[in-house]
Amino acid sequence: MENTLLSFKEQLAMLKQQMFDNIPKEVANIFEKHEKELAESEIINHALKVGDKMPSFVLPNALGKLVKIEDLLVKKWLVISFYRGQWCPFCQLELRNLQKNLQKIEGTPATLVAISPQSPDNSLSTVQKNALTFEVLSDKDSKVGKKFNVVYTVPDYLHQVFQKNGVDGQYINSEGKMQLPTPSIFVVDNQGIIRMRSIETNFTQRVDPLEVVKFMQEN
């Protein structure tokens, strides 16, 4: 259980230390290898940029109800968080911190939504486990994530590690490849234009929700 007196980045650092203290060295090396490869892939440069128009999409929420993204553009801002899934402890920590700062986010004013390729049932489990009160949408086959260009194919050597640790097969596409979004935050204005983005190739790193709030308050 995280120490809520610590900053978000301190909580992330503590979680990373705990994880790497409890996994075999060869697995740690695999994570580090993949992080380097993902950074070199230039996925950050290929992702949608500030000034780009957000693509239109409709996705089911945790209860299976279809949500049209344009219907969420009712405030000055829309904050979109792409996360990997409930199996990722860093994603869950991020979601809890977004929830912790939800009142500040909504007060800018903004609407918050989180998106992952997991099923609505798993999204519902995520909502319940982390006591989330914002929309959590399911992006089957990462179709929306691909529109934002934040999705990558997991290499076989890392896929094997995930399989051994019980990561759900719902992330496997028709070609038998696992695909995941990089942890990403997009801030979109009510005209659908991207005004801020944060894309992490290191899954242990995330932008602090307070930095997102600060940007929206100043713009």
Task: Name the average pLDDT for the chain.
Answer: 94
| Per-residue confidence (pLDDT) for residue 189, from 0 to 100 | 97
**pLDDT band, residue 5 (cuts 50/70/90):** confident
Residues 42-55: what's their mean pLDDT?
96
Q: What is the 3-state secondary structure (H, E, C) of the chain?
A: CCCCCCCHHHHHHHHHHHHHHCCCHHHHHHHHHHHHHHHHCCHHHHCCCCCCECCCCEEEECCCCEEEHHHHCCCCEEEEEECCCCCCHHHHHHHHHHHHCHHHHHCCCEEEEEEECCCHHHHHHHHHHHCCCCEEEECHHHHHHHHCCCEEECCHHHHHHHHHCCCCHHHECCCCCEEEECCEEEEEECCCEEEEEEECCCCCCCCCHHHHHHHHHHC
Q: What percent of the chain lies above the pLDDT cut of 90?
A: 87
Residues 93-120: what's their mean pLDDT?
96
**pLDDT band, residue 174 (cuts 50/70/90):** low
The residue ranges of every structural domain in the chain are: 8-218
| Per-residue confidence (pLDDT) for residue 144, from 0 to 100 | 97
| Per-residue confidence (pLDDT) for residue 172, from 0 to 100 | 76
Q: Which of 12, 80, 91, 180 is catalytic?
A: 91
| Per-residue confidence (pLDDT) for residue 158, from 0 to 100 | 93
Q: Answer whether residue 153 shows pLDDT above 90.
A: yes
Residues 35-44: what's their mean pLDDT?
94
Q: Answer whether residue 170 shows pLDDT above 90.
A: no
Q: Which CATH architecture group holds 8-218?
A: 3-Layer(aba) Sandwich (3.40)
88 noted as active-site residue = no
